Structure 1
Amino acid sequence: MRLQEILSRLTGLSRRKSTQAILDGRVRIDGEVERYPRRELDPQSSSIEFDGKSLEFKKQATVVYLINKPAGYLSAMTDDRGRKTLSDLIAGKIEERVFHVGRLDQGTSGLLILTNDGDLAHLVSHPASEIEKTYLVKIRGKLDDAQLQTVRDGITLEDGFTTSPARIRLVRSDRETTTLRLILHEGHKREIREMFKALGKSVVSLVRISIGGLDISLVPRPGEIKKLGKKEIELIKMGSKRKSQER
């Protein structure tokens, strides 16, 4: 597990605050100050101190939950500004201490994985795994064939990041809006909204409807939570090998 994830789990600090604490030199590993938040280590075989106090990592049973995040909630467990977070959604429903895998921005709804399994989290979030995430995107206006091809080829965004090739197809269209089905396997910050911004289009609504082999039908209602079994967890892992022919 990465040090920032371990510290967040053991202290209850947000990932951002855990990262800053490490950068500030407040964490020691085996007696030595460690300032690299992404350092990989086994928390059960390493001595971890935070502000001079020893932290004990207690092994928990591995759990994986699937949640349908409503729009308006942050993909975070805490927030300094008092905004609604995942902790508000899972209060009284999930007993284990879990963290979210990847994120959906505040205005985006749909599937999000919560777990205490660091290996699974790494698999799902790492671009090399190529686990596909599917979204329904409603935009204002329409895309012509050239613009659709630009999405398929990859778009250079305002910050200089170039998206990986994506799969996209029309779902429905009316006078003012168009709904598209978009499949990606990466997670650059606000990537989808920035993609359409680069095409001169604004996003009206954005919903993640699948992760790997898991579909939103498992948790169809906003705020709904489901504890996943072994077969369902395996569907996530299988997603890294799936190659749809959809274009």
Structure 2
Amino acid sequence: MHRQRGKVNKDPALAPQRLSKVVAAAGIASRRAAEELIFEGRVKLNGTVVTVPQTMVAINLDEVTVDGKRLLTRAPRKYYFALNKPKGYICSNKASDDTVAQSRLVVDLFDDWIKRVWRREHMHPNAIPPRLFTVGRLDVQSTGLILVTNDGAWSQQVSHPSSGIEKEYAATTDQVPTKRQLEAIAAGCIVDGAFVQPVAVGAEASDPSVRNRIRLIVAEGRNREVRVLVSNAGLEVTALKRVRIGGFRLPRDLGIGQFRELKPHEMMRVMDKGAQNNPYI
């Protein structure tokens, strides 16, 4: 296949990209797994086996095949979803051996969308569904807001601790917390080998009748951070729900297990630190 000559397309979405990135973006595999496919000689560029992942590919011009199947090398569309995660689902693209029998994957909730919506919009026989993944994690017992995307750069920007993007949780405890226990949570503790202190802690203010519910805001994003903070104060979390990421709050009309695509202004709210002020604490 010959490359076109002449006028250069300055659209950044069509700029040359590394072969490994093109294969990964097509939904074949993760970036690392895509590199392995290339090393194994299973990827061809314009009919020639290429074993160097850094080989540059001209988007919309070059032909890339994996195991003989041609990939669409146009710039892939990015998707951004807000999901109300149900209990019992894990934030991973592959269940571990000890959980595969009883756990379900968050991304499995998008199977019907891919079959009914995405497939209807992408009728090309070689079209490969986007490789969706969660932005950060919620443990299997937790519910609430989780973002799902196929944009790795955006995911890293949102989830990395250096971003300073807050996460707000509603934690139901086994007993009504005392003032001293709330102070102990606010003082912080060691979580996953590092000292962590929440941004804010307070009793539930939106519904005073729920006296054993705590609102916490954290910015670290460490594994089971909220549960460890609460446990350190002598309380047990019986239910944990994330209600906000950055300036974007879980929509009240988004039922458990439901999701919807984020609008551009909602994506901006996720990243808007100025919108993080919490009316509850």
**Please, what TM-score do these two structures have when normalized by structure 1?**
0.73
Count of residue correspondences: 227
| Aligned counterparts of 2:91 and 2:137: Cα–Cα separation in 1 | 5
User: Quick check: 1:229 aligned with 2:248?
Assistant: no
106-115 or 162-171: bigger deviation: 162-171
Q: Which amino acid aligns with 2:229?
A: M
What SS class does the counterpart of residue 77 from structure 1 fall into?
Answer: coil
User: Structure 1 runs of 4+ off > 4 angstroms?
Assistant: 4-13, 25-28, 30-34, 42-45, 55-58, 172-175
What is aligned with 1:163? 196
Q: Which amino acid aligns with 1:163?
A: V
Return the offset for 1:61. 1.2
User: Quick check: 1:244 aligned with 2:277?
Assistant: yes
What is aligned with 2:136? 102
What SS class does the counterpart of residue 189 from structure 2 fall into?
Answer: coil
| Aligned counterparts of 1:205 and 1:123: Cα–Cα separation in 2 | 28
User: Quick check: 1:194 aligned with 2:210?
Assistant: no
Q: Which amino acid aligns with 2:255?
A: R
Q: 1:168 to 1:43 in 2, by over 3 A?
A: farther
What SS class does the counterpart of residue 148 from structure 1 fall into?
Answer: helix
Whether contact under 8 Å (1:219, 1:226) holds in the other structure is no
What is aligned with 2:76? 60
Whether contact under 8 Å (1:218, 1:226) holds in the other structure is no
Return the offset for 1:108. 0.3
- Where structure 1 has 5 or more consecutive residues not aligned to the other structure, the ranges are 35-41
Return the offset for 1:161. 2.4
| Aligned counterparts of 2:147 and 2:57: Cα–Cα separation in 1 | 22
Q: CA RMSD in A?
A: 3.9
Whether contact under 8 Å (1:212, 1:236) holds in the other structure is yes
What SS class does the counterpart of residue 136 from structure 1 fall into?
Answer: strand
What is aligned with 2:215? 181
Whether contact under 8 Å (2:247, 2:274) holds in the other structure is no
Return the offset for 1:192. 1.1
| Aligned counterparts of 1:43 and 1:187: Cα–Cα separation in 2 | 36
Q: Percent identity?
A: 25
What is aligned with 2:148? 114
Q: 1:61 to 1:154 in 2, by over 3 A?
A: same
Return the offset for 1:57. 6.6
Q: 1:187 to 1:27 in 2, by over 3 A?
A: farther
Whether contact under 8 Å (1:151, 1:167) holds in the other structure is no
What is aligned with 1:37? none
Q: Deviation digits for residues 107-142 of structure 1, max 9, x if unmatched? A: 000011111222221121011111111111001123
**Please, what TM-score do these two structures have when normalized by structure 2?**
0.65
Q: 1:74 to 1:5 in 2, by over 3 A?
A: farther
What is aligned with 1:209? 243
Return the offset for 1:71. 0.5
Whether contact under 8 Å (1:167, 1:183) holds in the other structure is yes
Whether contact under 8 Å (2:26, 2:76) holds in the other structure is no
- Where structure 2 has 5 or more consecutive residues not aligned to the other structure, the ranges are 1-19, 40-49, 60-65, 119-128
Q: 1:117 to 1:210 in 2, by over 3 A?
A: same
What are the within-5 Å matches in structure 2 for residues 59-78 of structure 1? Answer: 59-78=75-94
Q: Deviation digits for residues 129-160 of structure 1, max 9, x if unmatched? A: 11111111001123333332232232124x43
Per chain length, whose mean CA-contact separation is higher, i.e. which structure has more relative contact order (CA < 8 Å, sep 6+)?
1
What SS class does the counterpart of residue 88 from structure 2 fall into?
Answer: coil
| Aligned counterparts of 2:195 and 2:72: Cα–Cα separation in 1 | 41
| Aligned counterparts of 2:264 and 2:218: Cα–Cα separation in 1 | 25
What SS class does the counterpart of residue 244 from structure 1 fall into?
Answer: coil
